[in-house]
Amino acid sequence: MSMTVCLMNVGFGGNKGAEAMLVTMLQQLHQRFPGIRLAIERPAREHPGYYRERITELREAGMNLCWIDFHPAWRMASPLKAYSDEQGAQVSPDAVIDLGGLNFQDRSQRGSLRTVIRHLPFVSRGIPLFFFTQDMGPMEYWFTRFCARLLLRRARRIFTRSARTHELLARGVPLRNLPLAGPFADSTFALQSHVASAPTHTDNLPLLVISPSQVVERLNPQSYRLLLEMLLKELIPHYRVLLLAHTFAPGDTKDDADLCRELHRDFPTCLLGDENLPVEILKGRIGAARLVVSS
């Protein structure tokens, strides 16, 4: 019988960094464990069409891929109830990999509690938990540390991405034999890209990618846009500039695509990358650039 692995806390959608982590892990597991069944979270409400398109593409590429609902309200009342995929077939995970971001941090006590609750069905069954942390902390509040200790002590392995996170966990979750590993480089360096997906242009100028951030602009409303405009004026004579959106969240303050469109209106000679494209294509475009500027 083939192994089933669930990947949680990331999905296909607007955050391209999170999607890249998911696709990288799917690629690696599919290649290293032939016949493995991979279960991911249900389609996000913000991008349901894109979510289903990506699942269809990966299935056509040979992946045994399904999606399940990790967090209905009744899970707390019946944590041992079997999971089912979108076709109603039972899914019994052999392991769970959490690819989420800030699982435990002081800015959201509710978020820390939600993280514990979402993992309880797996903990109650003794299913191995693996964490690939993007970052954690700060963890100065007792409740944040309590939630972290409650869950992380049951992890099979915690892969840290930075020395800071590794040190914070060792200090903030002082458990004997805490299964820390790393720090390791970002897993998305292993993402297999579509190298032939670079945008085309007729001149001989080298390609330069600028990926502006709506979040950074919101935090620095007086200076950020001015700095971007100064940078573009300086670079456009020497490069073919591609304005590439990183986060797609229509109507949200995190939507980078709107910022790219606004900059493109002021600098129409730039190429505009405001489409919600698969991360394999985005990595191909970034890889074709001479230089990348991000915030």
pLDDT tens for the 295 residues of the chain, in order: 578 999 988 888 878 888 899 999 999 999 999 999 999 887 666 677 888 888 889 999 899 988 887 655 445 555 555 566 666 667 788 999 998 766 788 888 888 888 888 888 888 888 999 998 777 777 888 898 888 888 888 899 988 888 888 887 887 666 667 888 888 888 888 888 876 555 555 568 899 999 999 999 999 988 999 999 999 999 999 999 999 998 887 777 788 999 999 999 999 999 998 888 888 988 888 888 999 998 8
* Residue 14 burial class via C-beta count within 10 angstroms: exposed 0-12, middle 13-18, buried 19 and up: buried
Structure tokens at 225: 């846009």
Quote the pTM value: 0.84
Phi, psi angles (nearest 5°) of residue 2: -75, 155
Q: How far apart are CA 149 and CA 141, in angstroms?
A: 13
Q: Are the C-beta atoms of residues 40 and 58 closer than 8 Å to each other?
A: no
Q: How far apart are CA 236 and CA 100, in angstroms?
A: 37
CATH number of 4-190: 3.40.50.11720
Task: Quote the pLDDT of residue 52.
Answer: 84
Q: What are the residue ranges spanned by the domains of the chain?
A: 4-190, 207-294
Query: Helix 16-32 and helix 279-287: axis angle, to 10°?
Result: 100
